[in-house]
Structure 1
Amino acid sequence: MQTYQAMHDFTLNRNALTTDEIWLVEHPPVFTQGKVGKPEHLLTKTNIPVVQTDRGGQITYHAPGQQIMYILLDIKRRKIGIREVVNYLENCVIQTLAHYNIEAYAKTEAPGVYIDNKKICSLGLHIKHGCTLHGLALNINMDLTPFNNINPCGYAGLQMTQLKDYVASIDRQEIKQLLTDFFISQLPNR
């Protein structure tokens, strides 16, 4: 909740000259429910807290070993739409995975990034005063078991996967740098 509040404070206190930021964080084990999330997608109650958020999408799971990338962009100033931002997020993950020779793809009807019909990255955004909050969650090296207690992103039977299932050696700093660089490289300089 501390990062959630900091993200909102940052957005509320921005002005036309505030530099956009990217925050790279990890969260303790938590289920987060999007603003339109349906409670029936939590299949089994556990001791993992469920937190209501203002991002889009349904329920997902966050935990150590998952790379969260929050993007705090003034999309009004940059003159880009929300669909473009979603594409940029998906593309930066696809390019990062391609660096490891992993073929990944996005689905228009179900935002996120997939490998062999398994989801490796979830997305959720919120727009406030023409600025984005929230971002993506890329599964790197974590316990995926809690995903069995939910319909991930509202999809019954959706299997989740993670980078460690495809890559023997993982350099977290390299992943952070790749995600950031690939995301920034797509942004228009307006």
Structure 2
Amino acid sequence: MSKTCHHLPLQVRHLGQVSYESTWQAMQQYTNERGPNDPDQIWLLQHPSVFTQGQAGKAEHLIAPGDIPVVKVDRGGQVTYHGPGQLVAYLLLDVKRLGSGVRQLVTLMEEAVVDALKKAGVEAYAKADAPGVYVQIGQEEAKIASLGLRIRRGCSFHGLAFNLDMDLSPFLRINPCGYQGLRMTQLAELAPQVTPEQATQWVLDYLVAGLGYQQIEAYNRLD
């Protein structure tokens, strides 16, 4: 990732719990309308319960969505679940200006979660053939973070979802990320002494450093 001096500060937006569809539309709008002098942004938030189905998503991976809405979206990957207690970090970056690429961004997001878990005393890892972050629980592999990106006009949107302290049962209604029987886990199960706020800050710090930013502006809303 580029370590150049950025002439614009990075904007970090702490949005609380916001609806999936309105946030997705806002990401698309910013990406479609931004120019070469518009700042990169990271949005930190949570969503009410929703399943999102990636562009290549197959219907058979939605086993029993029930009363939880399903939204078809323009990111890569299969179906996943978002809900309260999960950190969602959206990366709205001018990838070309950063001198980066999709693979580097995916790696950075995975490393940010792995590093946060390491600080929490949990060993985690990424896998080349299945993006995301995983841990071993006994003999079983479990997934703790999912990610998906879209690049448009040389800029990224979408990002990562890191399970912190949430109801994991909706994951049983799908094949998470297209993998039948994949176990999902969360920080509260592995390191209950770490607060969601701590873990969020660790992820943010790693992303900011990895992107080479020194200056940050923080906001609590989109406008």
Contact 2:55 2:72 in 1 (8 A): yes
**Which entry has the higher C-alpha Rg, 1 or 2?**
2
Residue 12 (1) aligns with residue 32 (2): yes
Match of 2:183 among 159, 174, 177: 159
Q: What is the SS of the residue equivalent to 1:71?
A: strand
Task: Give the TM-score normalised by the residue count of structure 1.
Answer: 0.96
Q: Deviations over 1:78-132 (max 9, x none)?
A: 1111000000000000001111010000001000000111000000111110101
Corresponding residue number in structure 2 for 1:136: 160
Corresponding residue number in structure 1 for 2:148: 124
Equivalent residue letter for 1:42: L
Distance in structure 1 (CA, Å) of the matches to 2:39 and 2:73? 24
Distance in structure 1 (CA, Å) of the matches to 2:195 and 2:34? 33
Contact 2:78 2:177 in 1 (8 A): yes
User: RMSD across aligned C-alpha pairs, in angstroms?
Assistant: 1.0
Corresponding residue number in structure 2 for 1:66: 86
Structure 2: gaps spanning 5 or more residues = 1-20, 214-223
Distance in structure 1 (CA, Å) of the matches to 2:121 and 2:198? 15
Corresponding residue number in structure 1 for 2:54: 34
Distance in structure 2 (CA, Å) of the matches to 1:169 and 1:6? 35
Distance in structure 2 (CA, Å) of the matches to 1:19 and 1:174? 26
Match of 2:128 among 93, 97, 108: 108
Corresponding residue number in structure 2 for 1:95: 115
Equivalent residue letter for 2:175: N
**Relative contact order higher in (CA < 8 Å, ≥ 6 apart):** 2
Mapping for residues 50-89 of structure 1, pairs under 5 Å: 50-89=70-109
How much does 1:185 deviate? 1.3
Distance in structure 1 (CA, Å) of the matches to 2:47 and 2:59? 22
How much does 1:169 deviate? 2.8
How much does 1:171 deviate? 2.2
Residue 184 (1) aligns with residue 208 (2): yes
Count of residues in correspondence between the two structures:
189
Corresponding residue number in structure 2 for 1:171: 195
Q: Deviations over 1:134-171 (max 9, x none)?
A: 00000011111111111100011110000000122332
Distance in structure 2 (CA, Å) of the matches to 1:175 and 1:162? 11
Structure 1: gaps spanning 5 or more residues = none
Contact 2:165 2:196 in 1 (8 A): no
Moved more, 43-52 or 86-95: 43-52
Distance in structure 2 (CA, Å) of the matches to 1:45 and 1:102? 31
Identity over aligned residues, as a percent?
A: 49
Distance in structure 2 (CA, Å) of the matches to 1:91 and 1:152? 21
Distance in structure 1 (CA, Å) of the matches to 2:192 and 2:47? 24
Higher strand share: 2
Equivalent residue letter for 1:171: T
